[in-house]
Amino acid sequence: MRLDGRRESSNVEDRRGMSGGAKAGIGGIGGIILIALFTFLQGGDVTDVVQNVVQQTMQAPTETVGEENFTEEEQELASDCKKILASTEEVWTKVFEENGWGEYQYPTLVLFSNQVNSACGSATAAVGPFYCSGDQKLYVDLSFFTQMKRQLGVEGNTFAYAYVIAHEIGHHIEYLTGTLNKAHQAMNQTDKVTANQISVRLELLADYYAGVWAHYEDAMNHSMEYGDLEKGLELAKAIGDDWLQKKAQGRATPESFTHGTSDQRKRWLKRGFETGDMRTSTFAVQNYNDL
């Protein structure tokens, strides 16, 4: 994905190097691969994306860094994130207009390191990127992307990062359209298995919206390059619940899925990209097994 010369969004709070001292507690537990499948923070609307993948080895830096100490790689990543955010602003403004949904409300991107406080509670970098509807902000620790590069082999592919951000923006769209609150209400009033199924619908819908974003982004800017979608689909596969569970424990238990299988995540991302059609929703699919 080419982003040269593109605008950086200013709806960004750079809180890197501000937290100081807090260490992620999950890193390096005896070398055991620990995959936490649910990271809902207390009382919040946190919906994560790919925390499952990097939680295993995440180690928070022990020192607070000043702005001048950011590496070139980190600064490039920060710049790409701001450009991707700017693109989502343009795309969703257009989509909201086209659908007569009024003015698109921009979310804020918070870049942080180590630990961050949100309206959904405080989180460490180990949680991975998340969206909090309480303050309409998405929280991203850039070390997540460097881990992602190493572990998932999506090296240097900007579209893979864009997918992660666009997925979190997807939750913001769910919030603005009322889907998120409705789903959370339903989740609070039902049993665990059904709540997990609703969670899967929310996550796959965020993947779908990420695809819709890429559809419009490419139509408006011709920024997608050969192999980009495949890289995104590779990432979608690597963060499927079945894939992660099989890797961690040798088998998958579908009733505990919260994000959907590899196939489902790939399918919804791809469908969004190919159609760009906002009339489709995972909540319109009657039978859960048909997702």
Site residues (vs Zn ion, CB under 5 A): 47, 49, 203, 206
Helix, strand, or coil (residue 21): coil
Measured from the CB atom, the residue of 70 and 175 that comes closer to Zn ion is: 175
**What is the number of other CB atoms lying within 10 angstroms of the CB of residue 248?**
17
Minimum gap (Å) between residue 144 Cβ and Zn ion: 13
Minimum gap (Å) between residue 281 Cβ and Zn ion: 15
Question: CA-to-CA distance for 190 and 109, rounded, in angstroms?
Answer: 32
Question: CA-to-CA distance for 276 and 70, rounded, in angstroms?
Answer: 37
Measured from the CB atom, the residue of 45 and 218 that comes closer to Zn ion is: 45
Say which residue the tokens 């993948």 belong to: 53
Measured from the CB atom, the residue of 47 and 196 that comes closer to Zn ion is: 47
Measured from the CB atom, the residue of 17 and 120 that comes closer to Zn ion is: 120
Question: CA-to-CA distance for 12 and 238, rounded, in angstroms?
Answer: 28
Minimum gap (Å) between residue 163 Cβ and Zn ion: 11
Q: Which residues pair with 55 in a beta bridge?
A: none
Minimum gap (Å) between residue 118 Cβ and Zn ion: 15
Q: Which residues contact 281 (CB under 8 A, 6 or more apart)?
A: 179, 205, 208
95 touches 275 (CB < 8 A): no
Minimum gap (Å) between residue 98 Cβ and Zn ion: 24
**Nearest to residue 169, comparing CAs of 102, 84, 100, 246?**
84
Measured from the CB atom, the residue of 174 and 217 that comes closer to Zn ion is: 174
